[in-house]
Amino acid sequence: MRKAINADVKRMDERTAWLREAVEGLAKDVVELDEEQTNILDDIDNLISVMDQSATIHKNTIETLRTQQKEIVLLSESLEGTNKVWCRISGILIWLVILT
């Protein structure tokens, strides 16, 4: 009977050792997964930062284009005014040539 009990104890010790190894392996896996999760979260934070920077650049580009568009409109209006002045001057010069 002692042999049977000793055999059972030996099997339990073997199973306990196997379970201990399995638990240690799982603990290592958990640590690795935690590190991977941390790396993924860091990558996501970096992507969000890059997206924020891109959005800011896009916003600034749009503002710059709007400003340039306003400047172009003002220049166009100025050129129209200058064109009208030159037309009047040309008309006066033509009349002066005709009259002289």
pLDDT in tens, 35-53: 999 999 999 999 999 999 9
State both tokens at 66: 């709007």
% of the chain with per-residue pLDDT over 90: 63
Instruction: Provide the pLDDT confidence category of residue 2 given band limits of 50, 70 and 90.
Output: confident
**CA atoms within 13 A of residue 20's CA, in its CB half-sphere:** 6
State both tokens at 85: 């002045």
Q: Where are the domains of the chain?
A: 1-70
Would the pTM of this model clear 0.95, i.e. be above it? no
pLDDT, mean over the chain? 91
- Does residue 85 sit in helix, strand or coil? helix
Other CB atoms within 10 A of residue 53 CB: 10
